[in-house]
Amino acid sequence: KAMPEAAGAVAAAAVADRLHGSKEDRKLAIVLVGLPARGKTFTAVKLTRYLRWLGHETKHFNVGKYRRLKHGANQSADFFRPDNQEGIEARNEVAALAMEDMIDWMHGGGQVGIFDATNSTRKRRYMLMKMAEGNCKIIFLETICNDRNIIERNVRLKIQQSPDYADQPDYEAGLQDFLERLTNYEKVYEPVQEGSYIKMIDMVKGEGGQLQVNNISGYLPGRIVFFLVNSHLAPRPILLTRHGESLHNVRGRVGGDTVLSEDGELYSKKLANFIEKRLKNEKTATIWTSTLQRTILTATPIVGFPKVVP
């Protein structure tokens, strides 16, 4: 199918990236690392969508789903205790099953697997690295959040949305269980220091955070770093508006590059008033327009924010 020039360039780069390098380097596993309620799955889903948009065959493997299928969704915090050897073996088993499925999927034509789990100990990560040898390159993606407000919000969402607590009618009981689970992980957590890795540190708001990169090279890993630098884990508003009425609109004509009509100018002023009130607390807001006069003129009365014309 015909595609815009820019989209064609992205697709060509994706194909080139699949063709160059060793067989192992052409397959990439992004292995998430981090404590519960740190935004791992949220990041994994967003990254999966981005890589698919770039033209790379990408799949998200959530180890929690494997655990629930094999051991049920009603595992208490005791299952995650660091001294529960049976629980450790069960969790390593489902992690290995998910890794095997990801490697099989890669052998069938998949390019990028997103391996979503806590992977919080070196022993677990070395197990995954051993399984990846000769099959794919691993990049660890560690999400670190020290903002207690964000963590508490994520914990609440976990209790409300996680399948692990779908059958728990008592919110407080579920909350207590999850906090105990979190404590169990914190006791044995070991930050990533091995292999190729990316660390997202306090990047929940897209500002003031830190991205650490170690031993990362190549087109696709570079694109992933670019995406993560510009990503955020906290919700923020995106407001969309049509331009004000143009002279061509008045004449019933489509397209062109005319200026605004009187009604269009009135709309631009009312829009500016709305933006001033709506975004007064959004310090990092940016106004984007197209290169056409009618969009630029619609945004002209808006002051106090940087404007971008791609």
Local confidence pLDDT in tens for the 310 residues of the chain: 344 444 454 555 555 454 444 444 589 999 999 999 998 999 999 999 999 999 999 999 999 999 999 999 888 999 999 999 999 999 999 999 999 999 999 999 999 999 999 999 999 999 999 999 999 999 999 999 988 888 998 999 889 889 999 888 899 999 999 999 999 999 999 999 999 999 999 886 556 688 999 999 999 999 999 999 887 666 677 899 999 999 999 999 988 999 999 999 999 999 999 999 988 877 778 999 999 999 999 999 999 999 999 8
Q: pLDDT at position 22, please?
A: 47
Q: How far is CA 14 from CA 6, 51, 254, in A?
A: 13, 10, 36
The CB density around residue 159, as the number of other CB atoms within 10 Å, is 20
Radius of gyration for the alpha carbons in the chain, expressed in angstroms and rounded: 24
AA letter at 261:
S
Q: Cα 41 to the chain's mean position, in Å?
A: 8
This prediction's pTM: 0.74
AA letter at 134:
G
Pull the structure tokens for residue 227.
């995406």
Phi/psi region, residue 144 (left: phi>0; alpha: psi -120 to 50; beta: rest), is: beta
Q: pLDDT at position 205, please?
A: 58
Domains and CATH numbers, the chain: 25-230 (3.40.50.300), 247-308 (no CATH)
Pull the structure tokens for residue 17.
């990236």
Q: Judging by beta carbons within 10 Å of its beta carbon (0-12, 13-18, 19+), is residue 201 exposed, middle or buried?
A: middle
